């Protein structure tokens, strides 16, 4: 028996002794006086007499702080096996479709600002259906409608959805939209489109948002988006709305305003707000969907929102993850309006990132597929292998990881828990205690 190398503990400034194990994702709180006992056990558990406190032994053993001699040694291989199995699961297809690269917004930071616009044809639509049909092992499709602004091609979405639905697969869909065109007609079709999640971006309060996310040629958008949200949440649609606020140094102070605005206006569990951290990779990154950001700043931001602004619904506790995204999953594709296939959302419209085309089904750039799937993966990274956080980390953005290898850059790919674990665990414990009090009042 030994102290797991995935175990840590520290004396909290406010909450006694806090213990965390990343292998089991377990958390314990003890009185501050227990620090010396835990320190002794962590240094030599075999020498400690647990007969004096069998309950302590049970808790430490059950939560994974104490493990058999070889258990930690095999954990990396076990987790790698599970994550590779998930990445190569042919029964589920992750399919992102951009029916157009056109957009009605003129956001200055947009990753697509220098790319040609395009609109999907019926031929490409039919070939997408054939593309799916050829993958006979697929039983479930996770579908994302993307752009450009996908609602500018809403009739194409309706037509393609009907054809995909006719294949008899299980479908669950989401749409990434600026929300300007989310009108009554669209809302009525959401159930038929299998759309259970909608992502809409608000970049601050009315003034800040309208200065950053305006119509092409000028024109405010905040009030129209909010009016559309009003209509959506008054409807019978039973999905989830994720309001994303793109956060950078110029507007981070508006996050609290947006959060409280949404919370007070709707009081509806179907809608929530989360921060998306703008990270510029050349001029290619789309902040509406980009997953590569500065994890250090994210950790600071999350702590600040809870400590100073009373926002407690952000992720302050790690979660067990299998990891992987379209880039590292074999049966995951991003299809552009001309039928071109990519392995990453942010690559739409970049010719050198095209790996295939549904209109030319026998033409594949398998070298690029392999490069992005293998070199973009964290599973062979020596630093990741030995990292305390490996069990609860998905390796960060594969696109950023690949850029680190191929370019003279150093984008952060580590989880924000690595630099802010103690502060975030304190917040998590206090949230649990607050919930107990609230539950006791009900």
- The closest alpha carbon to 125, from 161, 169, 167, belongs to 161
- 277 in helix, strand or coil? strand
332 in Cβ contact with 87 (< 8 Å): no
So what's the pLDDT on residue 306?
A: 84
Q: What share of the chain is helix, strand, coil (3-state, %, to 5)?
A: 40, 15, 40
Q: Provide the token pair at 234.
A: 């008054």
List the beta strands (DSSP E) in 214-368: 240-247, 271-277, 332-335, 340-342, 356-357
Whole-angstrom distance, CA of residue 315 vs CA of residue 320: 13
Q: Provide the token pair at 117.
A: 């616009």
Whole-angstrom distance, CA of residue 395 vs CA of residue 210: 35
Q: Is 195 exposed, middle or buried (0-12, 13-18, 19+ CB in 10 A)?
A: buried
CATH architecture of 83-370: Alpha-Beta Barrel (3.20)
Greatest Cα pair distance, the chain, in angstroms, is 76
Range list of H helices, 47-109: 54-62, 71-87
Q: CA 127 → CA 2, 76, 230, distances in Å? A: 57, 41, 37
Paired strand residues for 119: 100
Whole-angstrom distance, CA of residue 115 vs CA of residue 283: 11
Kindly state the helix (H) or strand (E) to which residue 420 belongs, with its residue range. helix 417-441
Radius of gyration of the chain (CA): 24
So what's the pLDDT on residue 198?
A: 98
Q: How far is CA 193 from the centre of its chain?
A: 22
Whole-angstrom distance, CA of residue 272 vs CA of residue 42: 41
So what's the pLDDT on residue 253?
A: 87
Range list of H helices, 267-378: 295-309, 366-370
DSSP for residue 373: I
Residue where the block lists tokens 């995951």 = 332
Query: Looking at the chain, how many residues does it have?
Result: 442
Whole-angstrom distance, CA of residue 129 vs CA of residue 320: 34
Phi and psi angles of residue 161, each rounded to the nearest 5 degrees, phi first: -60, -45
Kindly state the helix (H) or strand (E) to which residue 140 belongs, with its residue range. strand 140-145
Residue where the block lists tokens 């947009």 = 110
Q: How far is CA 160 from the centre of its chain?
A: 26
So what's the pLDDT on residue 113?
A: 54
Contacts of 267 (CB under 8 A, 6+ apart): none
327 in Cβ contact with 344 (< 8 Å): yes
How many C-beta atoms lie closer than 10 Å to residue 380's C-beta? 10
So what's the pLDDT on residue 371?
A: 93
Q: Is 282 exposed, middle or buried (0-12, 13-18, 19+ CB in 10 A)?
A: exposed
Kindly state the helix (H) or strand (E) to which residue 158 belongs, with its residue range. helix 154-165
331 in Cβ contact with 269 (< 8 Å): no
What string of pLDDT tens digits covers the 442 residues of the chain? Answer: 999 999 999 998 889 999 999 999 999 999 999 999 999 999 999 999 999 899 999 999 999 999 998 899 999 999 999 999 999 999 999 999 999 999 999 888 775 555 667 899 999 999 999 999 999 999 999 999 999 999 999 999 999 999 999 999 999 999 999 999 999 999 999 999 999 999 999 999 999 999 999 999 899 999 999 999 999 999 999 999 999 998 887 788 899 999 999 999 999 999 999 998 876 544 444 555 544 456 777 888 888 898 888 888 888 899 887 667 899 999 999 999 999 999 999 899 999 999 999 999 999 999 999 999 999 999 988 999 999 999 999 898 898 888 888 887 888 888 999 999 999 999 999 888 887 766 666 5
b vs e for 118-129, b when ≥16 Cβ sit within 10 Å of the residue's Cβ? bebeeebbebbb
How is the chain split into domains, by residue range?
2-69, 83-370
Beta strand pairing call for 356-357 and 17-21: unpaired
- The closest alpha carbon to 215, from 170, 175, 264, 179, belongs to 179
So what's the pLDDT on residue 181?
A: 98
Whole-angstrom distance, CA of residue 416 vs CA of residue 297: 8
- The closest alpha carbon to 204, from 241, 242, 250, belongs to 250
Contacts of 125 (CB under 8 A, 6+ apart): 156, 159, 160, 163
So what's the pLDDT on residue 104?
A: 93
């Amino acid at each position: 028996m030994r102290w797991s190398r995935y175990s840590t503990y520290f004396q909290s400034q406010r909450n006694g002794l806090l213990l965390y194990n990343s292998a089991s994702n377990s958390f314990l709180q003890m009185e501050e006086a227990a620090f010396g006992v835990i320190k002794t056990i962590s240094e030599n558990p075999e020498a400690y007499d647990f007969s004096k406190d069998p309950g302590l032994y049970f808790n430490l053993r059950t939560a994974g702080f104490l493990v058999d001699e070889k258990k930690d040694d095999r954990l990396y291989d076990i987790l790698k096996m599970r994550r590779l199995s998930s990445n190569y699961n042919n029964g589920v297809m992750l399919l992102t479709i951009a029916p157009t690269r056109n957009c009605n917004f003129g956001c200055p930071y947009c990753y697509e600002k220098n790319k040609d616009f395009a609109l999907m044809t019926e031929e490409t639509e039919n070939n997408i259906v054939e593309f799916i049909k050829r993958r006979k092992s697929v039983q479930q499709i996770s579908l994302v409608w993307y752009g450009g602004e996908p609602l500018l091609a809403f009739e194409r979405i309706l037509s393609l959805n009907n054809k995909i639905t006719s294949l008899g697969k299980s479908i669950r869909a989401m749409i990434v939209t600026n929300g300007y065109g989310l009108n009554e007609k669209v809302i009525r079709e959401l159930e038929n489109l299998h759309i259970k999640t909608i992502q809409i971006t608000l970049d601050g309060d009315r003034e800040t948002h309208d200065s950053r996310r305006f119509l092409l040629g000028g024109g405010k958008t905040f009030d129209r988006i909010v009016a559309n949200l009003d209509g959506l949440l008054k409807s019978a649609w039973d999905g989830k709305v994720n309001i994303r606020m793109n956060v950078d140094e110029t507007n981070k102070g508006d996050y609290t305003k947006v959060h409280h605005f949404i919370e007070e206006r709707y009081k509806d569990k179907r809608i929530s707000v989360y921060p998306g951290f703008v990270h510029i990779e050349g001029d290619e990154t789309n902040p509406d969907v980009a997953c590569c950001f500065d994890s250090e700043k994210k950790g600071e931001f999350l702590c600040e929102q809870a400590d100073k602004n009373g926002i407690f619904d952000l992720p302050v506790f790690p979660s067990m993850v299998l990891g992987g995204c379209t880039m590292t999953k074999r049966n995951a594709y991003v299809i552009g309006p001309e039928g071109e296939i990519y392995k990453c959302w942010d690559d739409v419209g970049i010719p050198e990132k095209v790996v295939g085309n549904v209109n030319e089904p026998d033409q594949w750039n398998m070298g690029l597929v392999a490069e992005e799937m293998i070199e973009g993966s964290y599973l062979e990274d020596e630093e990741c292998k030995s990292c305390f956080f490996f069990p609860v980390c998905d390796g960060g953005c594969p696109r950023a990881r690949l850029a680190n290898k191929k370019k003279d850059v150093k984008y952060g790919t580590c989880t924000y828990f690595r630099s802010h674990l103690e502060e975030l665990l304190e917040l998590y414990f206090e949230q649990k205690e607050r919930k107990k009090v609230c539950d006791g009042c009900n």
